[in-house]
Structure 1
């Protein structure tokens, strides 16, 4: 059936938007191949390179309007932006992100190569290259990477090729199906079977006995978290949760105490130390810290707060620091947003030696960056994420974020525990399975057990370089094939 151009745009936009159902909490992973099938077919059937780019842009707009819609909540509900400005900013961000699949579509049509290779091999390669670029350019936004939707189907491949590698294999599979249905079905069977077999491999081994952990979820509304009048309530809420905790390791969420560490009352820190002594427990507190000149979003060992904390190294642009402050600074002064103007921590930081192992901390959406997490994970026996997703309450952002944490646990063969302000507080095992979680928007402590693990996964060794070299090999091979054919 031949579609008119407006119909093509509508179909592409709808296909991109339903991709959100492939991710948590709906987790219908099979929808992602369907969405990609519409994208690749649209490129193939487009009447020109320009129209292929328009198809790609429409698909990308649907994809990112659906998968990043939660940004509106932070801008309007908590940032105080008028509806029109928040909606416009969210749409503008989605439009920027949509340029990456648009460029993949355009370059697919403009690249000189055989048509059968163009759509079966080049299109999925360029799609993933531009998704990878999206993950690091301008500090990167790897949220809703297509590979991240395939934990249930291709989870066994994550410890080898990571999320981008899984996404590449998925795209190759979809493109091959369009080219040759029998080949596509055979490749799908091979990938799913290989994943199932690889899941049986334990890339890492247990170290020591299991330990009890307590992950605190204070459920402090973002609208009051940074109000001075609510400060004592925050102190008392977390003090009560800490007293009730049963774990050998007690973890607080990101900036659980909404002030600089140096400004937390001395009596409060003394109370926490008494709790640690009574329970023979270690504590990791999320708090802002300062070295006198710079400020950091940090995770602190409360037994020794003077020890170098973990300082968040991947800051959120327009959230934790202001690009082009001369241009955007006045907007943030008007919005009165907290924790603006932070400094970055080092890319590789020593783990905390506590609770019978070595703990690599990460903060907020740092666990969306697989290649960065592995750098610290390789020296650790446990991963800990401290997060505050209250900025996006009312959306699926917390569930989507937890799903990315599952991918990081798989890639590194480590347990990953998450302490969040409003959800999703969870314990994730080394196979990427959520084995315990607190209900969102509730106050409490998640009690459970974790196992320290040692060893190295293939992904920890080579990170994303394996798949990057594969992309380079594909492009080089296609160029060589084209020139050889042209010379004949």
Structure 2
């Protein structure tokens, strides 16, 4: 019984961490994130020692990440062929690794020097700094950053063009900390009200401006099951499916998903590229699609996007690859895992960090592939040249989960940060047109084959976040910690 009493607070914290998943897309139950962070804040503030605060942060993080990334199990087990116990253990290990970051935040909150009257600033600051670290270390995995839960639905989304998702997250955590610490302190409530009111005002500003006329776009969703996508027996069926859909499009910019052609261009039947071009040629439309591309050497190949309507086939090569899915980190340590998985083309090469947008009649189009648009600091590399962003994805790996909806919410934040339209063409969803305010202008139902027809607007200009990315916020938060430490010493 005594052990259970000691364990109960940690179980409750894990539960409060887990309910955060409902605050993200597709449910958008935003107050649950506030409740989740309030529980963490209260627990850490009441911790008797930095070590206890660290363990409480870990318990919260374990529940948080198990709930928010559980869908990786589908890719490992259902489509990757990994035995279920091994896949479940892998998810637990990954969640435990990610829980180390809120654990570090909890430990630092009580360990760092700070005047007692200003300690309310510590947890929001170190929590967001460790969240950024999670999104950078070992190539980064910034999924489920708390700021996404408020974008684009709340006034805090107005801060995205200023400091990106991490500024949104810091202001959210600060608001919660002020309320939890001194709920009857009118000054604290006044600060919170000012933060949220200012966010609403910022969201009314136009950070970029229109250029040219609206462009008619056609986003194609093929709904090819992951179970057959790489099966040679269904290869021609997949090609014909995308050809038939392309022939039905009406836009000036037509976009097909990531690896819409599931083979190297040299293996594609000779008649196929020309038939795709013929499908859009009468209206002189631009046709963009995803395809693997061979490099100069035998073991060099890329996850790429090309402009199929241009016989020169200009390319964008994916530069931020998914660990274990698209490349093997530390092969000497992890290569054994692939004895239990069947991952096609899991040894992709990286493209260049800076790649020029496609210069097309429909605009300066900057492509990114799947997971890349969860990294705001990398998407801004295409600015100021890019006038529109496109994301090509295949989330059939996680079919039936909320991963696609969560990914689309991150795309909404990228649109806010850059002041650009984001066009999402996906295999199974979420295929969508997102405007510069992060609003859906059109969405196809998930797991259906179809074409999303609509209009998009090219835009120019540089919001503040596009100039400096995350660095101004990181410097400011670092300076805040240094200042708090110096005040404590004095």
2:442 counterpart (418, 429, 436): 436
2:307 counterpart (282, 301, 304): 301
Aligned partners of 2:313 and 2:257: how far apart in 1? 19
Aligned partners of 2:332 and 2:373: how far apart in 1? 30
After superposition, where does 1:107-256 map in structure 2 within 5 Å? Answer: 107-118=108-119, 120-151=120-151, 152-153=153-154, 154-181=156-183, 182-256=186-260
**Matched residue, 1:393:** 399
Instruction: Please provide the CA RMSD for this pair.
Output: 1.3
After superposition, where does 1:438-477 map in structure 2 within 5 Å? Answer: 438-477=444-483
1:288 counterpart (288, 292, 297): 292
The CA deviation at 1:375 is 1.2
Is the 2:82–2:340 contact (alpha carbons within 8 Å) kept by the matching residues of 1? Answer: no
Aligned partners of 2:457 and 2:321: how far apart in 1? 30
Is the 2:285–2:309 contact (alpha carbons within 8 Å) kept by the matching residues of 1? Answer: no
Per-residue CA deviation, residues 426-445 of structure 1 (Å, 9 max, x unaligned), is 00001100110100000011
Whether 1:362 aligns to 2:363 is no
Is the 1:399–1:424 contact (alpha carbons within 8 Å) kept by the matching residues of 2? Answer: yes
- Residue aligned with 1:335, SS: coil
- Residue aligned with 2:292, SS: strand
Is the 2:125–2:170 contact (alpha carbons within 8 Å) kept by the matching residues of 1? Answer: yes
Aligned partners of 1:132 and 1:299: how far apart in 2? 28
Aligned partners of 2:70 and 2:470: how far apart in 1? 28
Whether 1:269 aligns to 2:273 is yes
- Residue aligned with 1:214, SS: strand
The CA deviation at 1:261 is 2.0
Per-residue CA deviation, residues 121-171 of structure 1 (Å, 9 max, x unaligned), is 111111111000000100000000001111211111111111001111111
The CA deviation at 1:40 is 1.2
Aligned partners of 2:110 and 2:162: how far apart in 1? 31
The CA deviation at 1:202 is 1.0
Give 5+ residue unaligned stretches, structure 2: none
Equivalent pairs counted in the alignment come to: 481
Per-residue CA deviation, residues 72-94 of structure 1 (Å, 9 max, x unaligned), is 11111111111111111111100
- Residue aligned with 2:348, SS: coil
**Matched residue, 2:14:** 13
Give 5+ residue unaligned stretches, structure 1: none
Instruction: Using structure 1 for the length normalisation, give the TM-score.
Output: 0.96
Aligned partners of 2:314 and 2:277: how far apart in 1? 18
**Matched residue, 1:318:** 324
Is the 1:17–1:62 contact (alpha carbons within 8 Å) kept by the matching residues of 2? Answer: yes
Aligned partners of 2:249 and 2:361: how far apart in 1? 15
The CA deviation at 1:276 is 2.4
Aligned partners of 1:259 and 1:26: how far apart in 2? 36
The CA deviation at 1:457 is 0.7
- Residue aligned with 1:166, SS: helix
Q: 1:6 to 1:184 in 2, by over 3 A?
A: farther
Which runs of at least 4 in structure 1 moved beyond 3 Å after TM superposition? 305-308
Aligned partners of 1:466 and 1:344: how far apart in 2? 28
